[in-house]
Structure 1
Amino acid sequence: MTSDPDDLLGRFLTVAETAEVLRVSVSQAYSLVRSGELAAIRVGAARHWRVERTELEAYIEARYEEARREANWRQSAFAIVPELRQGDLL
């Protein structure tokens, strides 16, 4: 019987585990958490940050969706209109 890797990690990940999954530095993962870009909670007396696996998956999916939208925009006919360029819209 093989175990599901997700079962080994548990429901909540430390920031270091989150950084490992995202393949970023721990400080970059803390930055995502502190800014609120990646949802996390503080637990225990020491108030350590924990990221729920489902929140991490949602964050990753949102980044993919953002990349898809940007790629579609760059391929659209409107991308050549100076007033509608991405930097002007956001």
Structure 2
Amino acid sequence: MERSFYTIADVADMLKVSHGAVRNLINNGEIKAIQIGGRGLWRIEETALENYIKEQYQQSEEKVKSGEALVND
């Protein structure tokens, strides 16, 4: 089984957020990542990113249904 990994920059670009936002998601445990070597190189597996996105869709749907979050223009 071949695994695909992304850099913090890759994920930031895909989600259209800053690198710092991705680092915060990793530090908060919202996105699973692994450190490669001792130089602070972090990688996010494709499946970990997909899981994060699925969870965000579920949470967002629940918030909209409950009225906790509204989509505004």
Q: Per the shorter chain, which TM-score range?
A: 0.7 to 0.9
Task: Let me know the Cα RMSD of the aligned residues.
Answer: 1.5
In structure 1, stretches of 5+ residues that fail to align are 1-9, 75-85
Name the count of aligned residue pairs.
Answer: 66
Mapped to 2, the partners of 1:47 and 1:19 lie a distance apart of 17
Specify every segment of 5 or more residues in structure 2 that has no aligned partner in the other structure, as ranges: 69-73
In structure 2, the residue matched to 1:58 is 51
- TM-score, structure 1 normalization: 0.67
Higher relative contact order (CA 8 A, sep 6+): 2
Q: Which has the larger radius of gyration?
A: 1
List, as ranges, runs of 4+ consecutive aligned residues in structure 1 with deviation greater than 6 Å: none
TM-score computed with the length of structure 2 as normaliser: 0.81
Larger helix proportion, structure 1 or 2? Answer: 1
